[in-house]
């Protein structure tokens, strides 16, 4: 379970850690949009430099970023290879049936490869340097305008932060249930597909009941502490916009400008 | 007579899917500033009483039923005022931790009461300090032990400044050392804040240290009184499905053997001293 890199947070103390999650989330989303502005070698070069600088600024070991890319490496290679063989145009170096390797094909496959890796790297920068709690807070702020459409943003935020809080507890519980079932002879790692699905049932049912019990207990505890559904509440945790967030914003704007300037039309 | 902070008269409660009442015509008083313990074996309706006192459950309709806490009569309208006066620490430390970190959790009750943020910060800091968790202020619950989580729960209750703390088997999931520490902490905050404690337990040793004991069996109140009065009668405790604490077992056996042990001897140390004196006289 500990191998999952998505959503993993590694504590640290570099400049990226000091940034406001709102700024980081917005910048990450916009990054995925502006990445499509790049369409020539120069713009891809700048894109890579800016991304690698952001990665470097986290002061984390390169290995954790490699762990982020690794699970998707086959998808990346598959897409790049398709681009390589099926794009026509420019000089043709090799030709066989419908397959051919052309100048544009090589170029496109390298672009796609860079694009993929950069998106993964930037989103890994976000998840590694921001606790899930900060992400939930940031998302709440971003979702706030939906309040005008009668979307219960405060309730959704509470649900998000409770859900995040119970992820480690439920993981623990799942491991404990698996061990308990193993002690009674259950086997989770062998047999065909059907047998494996069958062997999940003795984990899922207790886990489901367990989470309902937690929900009931927690609801009682919340009510006993004065929580009223839909009532106004004040907030203890607030996000603060600091000078680091202006750096973040400035950095992102600079990248956008450079991409616009170097783009060929 | 001291004032009563809790007055309960003719309280009955029946769960929807059962025929027999979980709590049957229970009446008792809790004096201000005292430590009252409700004992009973599993399924005797102890936790139900805790939930009834806080308005989480509403009693069966009966004109004679009265629950009064600090002068306020509990009904659907006053429920939220009552909750400002009563704090409950529940059994499972994991399932009552609402916030994502210690300070968030302590602030939860204050957020619900719309306390402004600056004021919240001082209160949160103070109460976390009071329960000795300042070092863990920013910690997430999965890095805390069960005893530490219960400390946080106590801090969360102290933050809203209640009059009465209900401990609903709060120590039953802790190891013996954690249990003793939590009970000592509660004694400390009781003194510092002038609180009344209503603890619910099946740990008879914990009960023997209370000012008043209520014995509950299958929803009915069998007896109430000081530990000395209650533990005199072994058959009463047996009929509630409980065992006497070791000290009282020894004391009662001595009395049976014809050794006169005075009433006022109510703990191990006094008994040891008394027996040593007896030895000298012989």
pLDDT number for residue B186:
93
Place of tokens 């859900």: A163
Would you call B111 and A233 a contact, using CB atoms and an 8 Å cutoff?
Answer: yes
Pair type for strands A92-96 and B4-13: unpaired
Q: Provide the edge-to-edge strand list for the sheet that holds B35-39.
A: B86-89, B164-168, B196-201, B35-39, B212-217, B220-225
At residue A5, the 3 state secondary structure works out as coil
CA separation for the pair B168, B157 (Å, rounded): 13
Of B85, B89, B52, the C-alpha closest to B69 is B85
Residues of chain B with pLDDT under 70: 1-2, 282
Chain A with chain B: Cβ pairs closer than 8 A: 92
* Residue-level pLDDT at B277: 84
* A84-116 pLDDT per residue, tens: 888 777 777 777 777 888 888 888 899 999 999
d(C-alpha A54, C-alpha B267), whole Å: 67
Inspect the interface and report whether the beta carbons of B51 and A220 lie closer than 8 Å: yes
pLDDT value of residue B94: 87
Contacts of A168 in chain B (CB under 8 A): 142
Return the pLDDT at B248. Answer: 83
pLDDT at residue B72, as a whole number: 87
Q: State the pLDDT at residue A117.
A: 92
First to last CA, chain B: 42
Please report the residues numbered 28 through 87 in chain A whose beta carbons come closer than 8 angstroms to any beta carbon of chain B: none
Candidates A235, A155, A165, A232; CA nearest to B107 is A235
pLDDT value for A2: 46
Nearest to A226 by CA among B64, B16, B107: B107
In 3-state terms, what secondary structure has residue A186? coil
Choose among A60, A236, A15: nearest CA to B115. A236
Helix axes A243-262, A41-57, angle to 10 degrees: 160
Tokens of A59: 């002061």
**Residue found by looking up tokens 């249990």 in the block:** B179
Tell me the β-bridge partners of A100. A95
What residue ranges of chain A have pLDDT lower than 70?
1-7
Q: Which residues of A touch B116 (CB under 8 A)?
A: 234
pLDDT, residue B6, reads 86
Q: How many angstroms separate the CA atoms of B164 and B1, rounded?
A: 19
pTM: 0.80
> What's the confidence (pLDDT) of residue B1?
41
The half-sphere exposure of B143 on its side-chain side, counting CA atoms within 13 A, is 10
Residues in chain B: 282
């Amino acid at each position: 379970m500990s191998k999952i890199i998505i959503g993993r947070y590694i504590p640290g103390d570099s400049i990226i850690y000091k940034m406001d999650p709102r700024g980081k989330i917005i910048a990450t989303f916009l990054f995925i949009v502006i990445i499509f502005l790049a369409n020539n070698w120069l713009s891809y070069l700048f894109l890579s430099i800016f991304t690698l600088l952001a990665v470097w600024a986290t002061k984390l070991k390169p290995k954790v970023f490699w762990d982020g890319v690794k699970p998707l490496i086959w998808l990346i290679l598959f897409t790049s290879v398709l681009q390589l063989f099926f794009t026509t145009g420019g000089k043709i170096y090799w030709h066989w049936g419908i397959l051919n390797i052309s100048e544009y094909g090589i170029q496109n496959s390298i672009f796609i490869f860079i694009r993929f890796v950069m998106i993964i790297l930037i989103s890994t920068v976000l998840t590694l340097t921001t606790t899930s709690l900060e992400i939930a807070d940031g998302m709440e702020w971003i979702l706030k305008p939906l309040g005008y459409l009668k979307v219960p943003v405060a309730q959704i935020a509470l649900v998000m932060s409770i859900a995040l809080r119970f992820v480690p507890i439920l993981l623990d519980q799942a491991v404990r249930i698996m061990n308990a079932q193993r002690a009674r002879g259950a086997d989770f790692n062998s047999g065909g597909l059907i047998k494996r699905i069958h062997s999940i049932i003795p984990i899922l049912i207790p886990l489901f009941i367990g989470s309902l019990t937690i929900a009931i207990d927690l609801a009682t505890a919340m009510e006993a502490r004065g929580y009223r559904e839909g009532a106004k509440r004040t907030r203890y945790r607030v996000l603060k916009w600091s000078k680091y967030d202006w750096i973040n914003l400035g950095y992102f704007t600079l990248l956008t400008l450079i991409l616009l300037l170097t783009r060929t039309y | 007579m001291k004032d009563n902070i809790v007055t309960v008269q003719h309280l009955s409660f029946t769960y929807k899917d059962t025929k027999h009442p979980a709590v049957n015509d229970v009446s008792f008083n809790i004096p201000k500033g005292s430590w009252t313990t409700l004992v009973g074996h599993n399924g005797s309706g102890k936790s139900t009483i805790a939930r009834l006192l806080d308005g989480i459950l509403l009693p069966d309709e009966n004109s004679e039923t009265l629950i009064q806490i600090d002068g306020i009569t509990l009904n659907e309208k006053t429920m939220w005022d009552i909750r400002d006066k009563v704090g409950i620490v529940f059994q499972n430390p994991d399932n009552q931790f609402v916030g994502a970190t210690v300070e968030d959790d302590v602030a939860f009750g204050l957020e619900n009461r719309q306390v402004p943020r600056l004021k919240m910060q001082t209160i949160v800091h103070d109460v976390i300090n009071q329960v000795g968790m300042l070092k863990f202020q920013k910690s997430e619950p999965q890095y805390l032990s069960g005893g530490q989580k219960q400390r946080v729960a106590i801090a969360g209750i102290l933050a809203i400044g209640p009059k009465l703390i209900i401990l609903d088997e709060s120590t039953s999931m802790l190891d013996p050392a954690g249990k003793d520490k939590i009970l000592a902490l509660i004694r400390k905050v009781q003194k510092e804040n002038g609180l009344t404690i209503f603890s619910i337990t099946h740990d008879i040793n914990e009960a023997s240290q209370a000012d008043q004991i209520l014995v509950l069996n299958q929803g009915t109140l069998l007896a109430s009184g000081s530990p000395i009065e209650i533990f005199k009668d072994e058959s009463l405790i047996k009929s509630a499905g409980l065992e006497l604490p070791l000290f009282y077992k020894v004391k009662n056996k001595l009395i049976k053997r014809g050794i006169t042990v005075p009433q006022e001897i109510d703990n191990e140390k006094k008994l040891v001293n008394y027996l040593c004196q007896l030895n000298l006289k012989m």
